[in-house]
Amino acid sequence: MKHHVTTTVNGDEVEFLCETEQTLLDCLRDELELTGTKEGCGSGDCGACSVLLDGRLVCSCLVLGVETNGKKIETIEGMATGDKLHPLQRKFLEHAALQCGICTPGVLVAAKSLLEKNPNPTETEVRYWLAGNLCRCTGYDKIIRAVMDAAAEMRGA
């Protein structure tokens, strides 16, 4: 039996049908064709599929699609405003904080969620917050610098 799910994704009300087994990640990518959210490990270890669910940072591979009925989801597709990149996205380009790009949507969504809670994090706080976002290209240093720089810009510092 398919479930009929109604949710809000990046501010738009959407509906989709899914099987119980389909995760939120499957539903975003395969039912809603929002392929910005990436699948890395599929077991909650790598953070590539990070999204916000009712404002809370989660791995979308560890949420069933059917659980999201009536909830609010935010993905990487909602980050830029039209052609205008979010400061985090711009700083990632400036600092070359990505190479292959698979981890990037998840890192950006996670970093944005941190800066909403804590606009002035220490480097240690950024590193711990992002410990669940694995990147096999950059060695993390550029990611951390980009997040710190974006945070400073967003504070108007």
Partner 1 sequence: MRYESPDTLEAAAKLLASESGEARILAGGTDLLVQIRAEVLSPALVVDIKKVAETRAIKEEAGGFRIGAAVTGAELKEHSALKKVWPGLVEAANLIGSTQVQGRASLGGNLCNGSPAADSVPAMIAAGAIASIVGPNGRRDLKVEDIMLAPRKLALQKGEIIASFLLPKRAPHSGDAYLRFIPRTEMDIAVVGCGVSLTLDGSGTCTAARVGLGAVAARPLLVEDAAKALVGTKVDDAALEKMAAAARAACKPIDDKRGTIEFRTDVAGVLAKRTALIALERARKA
Q: Which residues bind partner 1 (CB under 8 A)?
A: 1, 3, 20-21, 23, 42-45, 47, 50, 53, 56-59, 61-64, 66-67, 110, 114, 128-133
Q: Tell me the pairing of strands 3-9 and 72-74.
A: parallel
Q: Determine the Cα–Cα distance for residues 38 and 26; give it in Å rounded to an integer.
A: 10
CB of 19 to partner 1, least distance (A): 8
Q: Is residue 60 within 8 Å of residue 37, measured between CB atoms?
A: yes
CB of 27 to partner 1, least distance (A): 13
Nearest 10 degrees: CA dihedral of 21, 23, 24, 27? Answer: -60
Dihedral of CA 17/22/23/25: which sign? negative
CB of 111 to partner 1, least distance (A): 11
Which residue, 96 or 131, has its beta carbon nearer to partner 1? 131
Which residue, 117 or 155, has its beta carbon nearer to partner 1? 117
Which residue, 66 or 148, has its beta carbon nearer to partner 1? 66
Query: Which of 76, 86, 15, 14 has its CA nearest to residue 51?
Result: 76
Q: Which two tokens stand for residue 95?
A: 């600092």
Dihedral of CA 115/118/122/125: which sign? negative
CB of 128 to partner 1, least distance (A): 6
CB of 2 to partner 1, least distance (A): 11
Which residue, 51 or 150, has its beta carbon nearer to partner 1? 51
